[in-house]
Structure 1
Amino acid sequence: MGIFSGLVGNASESNMEKIHEKYSKLLGPSETIERAYSIIRDLMIFTNKRLIIVDIQGITGKKVSYHSVPYKSITHFQVETAGHFDLDAELKIWISSTAEPVGLQFNKSSSIYEIQGILAEYISR
């Protein structure tokens, strides 16, 4: 189901060793990566200080956009779990001064509860 989930846009937890190698240059001196979830080529990286949304653009993927969201800018979030006929769960994150939420689809094997736990912990600081 991993390949199918990636093709339909569902997120799955990324290999942390590869994430550290590739994205450590984005981190501040006291910042650490907690979790990372990929959707085909795009990525959401949860650090101890912020959420980094990596948007790989174009056919070649050479152009990359890095959206950094401090946890204090997240106003609220919504988790919708997968049902009997649903293939995925959904996470929506609202960022202050934006009308539309950032949305991410998770397959059933990913723990949406783990993700919401990370957000709840960092938002409450």
Structure 2
Amino acid sequence: MRIIVYGTLRRKQGNSHWMTNAQLLGEHQIEGFQLYSLGHYPGVVPGDGKVICEVYRIDASTLGELDALRTKGGEYKRQLLQTPYGSAWLYVYQRPVAGRQLIDSGDWLLRDEQPEGE
């Protein structure tokens, strides 16, 4: 199975250790979503934009761990998307994003390079 990661699970990010047993298949850009900063981590929601991400092959055990990390309390819900590497799961944020910072670039790694006032 495959998973799409766009924030702290990406390479060299704070939660990348969860991906230790995963195989990076490549980078990808998903359309029809917007990336928001939720503080120390991001969330994607459907919208008019793009999000830069990485696609990994993972085993059932890793998916179970990520589900425990991401879906408890209903904060995220998995959605299956098509990628150049095959279908992959994306964790979509389920709570309101009003008042949250939109990351226009769609790239969590560039979140600190937002123009002033945005």
Q: TM-score, normalised by structure 2?
A: 0.27
Higher relative contact order (CA 8 A, sep 6+): 2
Larger radius of gyration: 1
Q: TM-score, normalised by structure 1?
A: 0.27
